[in-house]
């Protein structure tokens, strides 16, 4: 445990500086190195949240968002999928701040709207995780018990935006996309 406390600051500094340097052009760098850096970053956030701190988590979320949001062909598919799955794990581990969760909600909706059906369907998992874990913004005066309080207007708008994104994929997407989306919609 003492060794981890000594290594974590060095590792987090290395990861942040290197991921900042490659996030805008991941296709020009060694894929294995980027995958290892992402995996280590996700592992540290998930298992050592107090040691890495919220600044590290926010920085990694920001770098991952940049990697996913670059031009369609500039992020290799393996890195795109790795980052999405890593972000989904972080979301489900409940180690992220509310602000980071909101950034993931926006990122997931944005990525489901991309032209590439394979990339959009990959981002669908993150969007669904955001939806089903209730990571939309909770107003300060609002109760966390959904049976005791009616949803506020902002939550309704966010939910409507997500549902409209899903129906847009059904309406405008390829037949296989429509099948996938209709299977995940509640009956």
Q: Using an 8 Å Cβ cutoff, are 99 and 134 in contact?
A: no
CATH number of the structural domain 2-134: 1.25.10
Ramachandran sector of residue 186 (left: φ over 0; alpha: ψ -120 to 50; beta: rest): beta
Q: What is the pLDDT along the chain (187 residues), one digit of tens a residue?
A: 788 888 999 999 999 999 998 888 888 889 999 999 999 999 999 999 989 989 999 999 999 998 988 766 678 899 999 999 999 999 999 888 889 988 998 898 888 888 888 888 888 888 888 888 875 544 444 445 555 556 677 777 777 777 777 777 777 777 877 787 777 776 6
Burial class (CB in 10 A: 0-12, 13-18, 19+), 62: middle
pTM of the complete model beyond 0.85: no
Domain parsing of the chain, residue ranges? 2-134
């Amino acid at each position: 445990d003492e060794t981890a406390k000594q290594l974590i600051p060095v590792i987090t500094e290395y990861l942040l500086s290197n991921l900042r340097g490659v996030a805008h052009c991941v296709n020009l760098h060694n894929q294995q190195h980027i995958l290892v850096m992402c995996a280590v970053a996700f592992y540290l956030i998930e298992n050592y949240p107090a040691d890495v701190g919220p600044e590290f988590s926010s920085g990694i979320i920001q770098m991952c968002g940049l990697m996913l949001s670059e031009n369609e062909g500039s992020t290799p598919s393996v890195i795109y999928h790795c980052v999405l799955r890593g972000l989904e794990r972080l979301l489900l581990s409940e180690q992220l701040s509310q602000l980071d969760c909101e950034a993931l909600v926006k990122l997931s909706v944005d990525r489901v709207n991309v032209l590439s059906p394979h990339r959009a369907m990959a981002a669908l998992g993150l969007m669904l995780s955001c939806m089903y874990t209730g990571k939309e913004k909770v107003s300060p005066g609002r109760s966390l018990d959904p049976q005791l309080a009616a949803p506020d207007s902002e939550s309704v708008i966010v939910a409507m935006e997500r549902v409209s994104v899903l129906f847009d994929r059904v309406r405008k997407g390829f037949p296989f996309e429509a099948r996938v989306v209709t299977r995940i919609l509640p009956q």
